[in-house]
Amino acid sequence: MGNAVGWIVFHERGPHGLVPSFTILLRGTGCRVNIIERRFRFVPWPMVRSRGFYASRVAEGESADEASEQAIRSVRDELHGIVRNTPEEPWVIVVETVEEMPGTAQASDQEVARRGFTWFPEQEPD
């Protein structure tokens, strides 16, 4: 078979020759999700409740806007099948903060540390 040689391709952008990476804090609101509440202290009771979330992601892009859009798409994909909203009940993701990562740090180096969501209750609609 011979020897296989792998190549790493770098984009020719940015001060270090790489596409800049950004740390992006997102806030989602209006998400209808399945949760288990405890009734009478011990009986599990499945319900759909309105929740919001915070999520931090690292993304690459030519600009902060491009990286933010990539992070929003990624979070929407991650939550597909978890958020139970109907088309009449849209949920929203907004960008709270965006910071460019210093030096040559790349999004792929930080990917494992940037998964997950911090959920918080929202007031239920009347």
Is the residue at 52 inside a domain?
Answer: yes
Closest by alpha carbon to 20, among 96, 115, 102?
Answer: 102
Residue 6's pLDDT is: 43
Domains of the chain: total: 1
Is the residue at 117 inside a domain?
Answer: yes
Is the residue at 87 inside a domain?
Answer: yes
> pLDDT digits over 48-104, tens only?
999 999 999 999 999 999 999 999 999 999 999 999 999 999 999 999 999 998 865
Pairing of strands 43-60, 92-100: unpaired
Residue 112's pLDDT is: 47
Residue 8's pLDDT is: 44
Stated pTM of the model = 0.75
What is the Cα–Cα distance from 94 to 29, expressed in whole angstroms?
Answer: 9
Give the residue numbers spanning the domain of 117. 21-121
Is the residue at 101 inside a domain?
Answer: yes
Is the residue at 94 inside a domain?
Answer: yes
Is the residue at 111 inside a domain?
Answer: yes
